[in-house]
Copies of this chain bind each other. A is one copy, B any other.
Amino acid sequence: MSLTVVGSMAFDEIETPFAKSGRIIGGSANYIAWAASNFVQPINQVSVIGEDFPSSELEALKAKGVVLDGVQVKQGEKSFYWSGKYHMDMNTRDSLATELNVLGDFQPVIPDSYQGSEFLILGNLTPQVQMSVIDQFKVRPKLIVMDTMNFWMDVALDDLLKVLKRVDVLMVNDGEARQLSGEYSLVKAARKIMSMGPRYLIIKKGEHGALLFYENHVFFAPAMPLDDVYDPTGAGDTFAGGFIGHLAKTKDISFENMKTAIIVGSAMASFCVEKFGTERIREVTHEEIAARLEQFVQLVNFDIDLV
């Protein structure tokens, strides 16, 4: 029992300038699990759903090695629902509706069978829920990775700062890093955030790639330049899933291996945006992943001997 994933399992409805998704499966824990399951199984899922969540989706996850013992099913209630509309740049979006439903009073319970997980990833949820999960592990996982968002910085900063002291790796986007640190320079922001607890910081910059900070080191993973971005929803969670999946597979949490892991995350994210929701990452093959990773090598490899 190696990897535990905590996050939402939800319905999304997405509108881009080019298409509408209708009601589809979303949620941070789903994206993370679909991505990570290409590298490591089983995956211990912790989440909450309503009675409206399709059993076919649960079966599909199980078939990918996702264990659902930690997923609470609330009879008579509805799953979390989000709808949003992307602007022409496909980078910015407006939320049209956010219905917390079962997520509103979510109290996660870690099943005994999940105890001993070496890797734990806390998808974007209230800091209080994230803290509760950490507290329930009798032995601290070898590596705890945490995602969060600006909303929690606005409404639950004190709780967020407490969780930060308990995790190894924090993932935020550039705007969130600036908000959390009060620094515009991402290098300065990273230094400040690492002083708040996490030894490693990943700053996601969407189509501009991601930075990994550790002590005085910095590593940069580009995003793959693509002909088109069809739907960016879930790309950050998919990135997180590829990252933790590679680490859990290799059981190596060195800085060097984290570099490889964020390249793997970037590769998985580059698939995610090719179709709506989880559509692309649930069908991606090992051969396609290997080919995409080779493209990343080509994208950044250079020979500096001549200089």
A residues with a Cβ closer than 8 A to B are: 88-89, 184-188, 205, 208-209, 211, 217-222, 225-229, 246, 250, 252, 256-257, 259-260, 263-264, 289-290, 293-294, 296-304, 306-307
Contacts and interface: CB of A to CB of B under 8 A. Distances in A.
Contact of A227 (B188, B227, B252, B298): B188
A59 B218 CA distance: 40
Nearest to A294: B304
Q: What is the copy number of this chain in the assembly?
A: 2
A96 to B, nearest CB: 23
A290 B306 contact: no
A186 B225 contact: yes
Given A263-B304, A293-B307, A300-B302, 16 more contacts: A89-B184, A186-B225, A205-B208, A209-B222, A211-B225, A217-B298, A219-B298, A219-B299, A222-B222, A259-B301, A260-B303, A260-B304, A260-B307, A289-B307, A294-B304, A296-B304
A306 B250 contact: yes
Contacts of A88: 184
A306 B218 CA distance: 21
A273 to B, nearest CB: 12
Nearest to A263: B302
